[in-house]
Amino acid sequence: MNLKEIREILELLKGSDVSEFELGRGDTMLKLRRGPANAPALPPPAPPAPAAPARAAVEPPAAASVPAKPTYKEIVSPIVGTFYRAPAPDAAPFVEVGTRVVKGQVLCIVEAMKIMNQIESDTTGTIAAIIVE
């Protein structure tokens, strides 16, 4: 089984609801397991505040005062394997939270089947979080 075949399997599984997959060929065994979604649990909404009697008319806030929500782009490794933040144990990490990155910049290394694969940024931006499962 080579890396191309594994990537094809991952692509097929990406669009399915399969949570666990095992494949054996000769003395090689591939086992893939999908973890729970990364969506954090939201706290229950607070009960509405009691209405106070209105004394004067309140002007609605101006639409221009609403700040724009930041947009985030999630960068996901195309392969499953062991995650390394740095090129060597004693080296500095490729990126930290707050690091400005450009398209094509190496973000980490994922080792799969004893092959070190550099994962590069597909966009320019700033690292907001490093989430590894």
Higher pLDDT, 16 or 111: 111
Question: Domain for residue 95, yes or no?
Answer: yes
Q: What are the structure tokens assigned to 47, written together? A: 């009960």
Looking only at the bridges linking them, the beta strands covering 82-84 and 125-126 are unpaired
Q: Quick one: pLDDT at residue 64? A: 56
Question: Domain for residue 106, yes or no?
Answer: yes
CA gap 11, 18 in Å, rounded: 12
The candidate with the shortest Cα–Cα distance to 116, out of 58, 60, 77, 61, is 77
Q: Quick one: pLDDT at residue 63? A: 55
Across the range 57-67, mean pLDDT stands at 57
Q: Which residue has the tokens 């003395």?
A: 27
Question: Domain for residue 40, yes or no?
Answer: no
- CA separation, residue 53 to residues 47, 48, 50, 57 (Å): 18, 15, 10, 11
Report pLDDT digits (tens) over 70-108. 677 888 888 899 989 998 989 999 999 898 999 999 989
Higher pLDDT, 115 or 1: 115
Report pLDDT digits (tens) over 24-55. 777 777 777 776 555 455 555 656 655 555 55
pTM over 0.85? The answer is no
What 3-state class would DSSP assign to 7? Answer: helix
Q: Quick one: pLDDT at residue 92? A: 92
Question: Domain for residue 102, yes or no?
Answer: yes
Give the rounded distance of the alpha carbon of 19 from its chain centre.
18
CB 62 within 8 A of CB 38: no
Question: Domain for residue 97, yes or no?
Answer: yes
The candidate with the shortest Cα–Cα distance to 11, out of 132, 107, 21, is 21
Structural domains in the chain (count)? 2
Residue 111 pLDDT > 60: yes
CATH of the domain at 110: 2.40.50.100
The candidate with the shortest Cα–Cα distance to 85, out of 112, 115, 107, is 107
Across the range 100-129, mean pLDDT stands at 89
What 3-state class would DSSP assign to 79? Answer: coil
Question: Domain for residue 105, yes or no?
Answer: yes
Question: Domain for residue 19, yes or no?
Answer: yes
Question: Domain for residue 99, yes or no?
Answer: yes
* Domain coverage including residue 106: 77-126
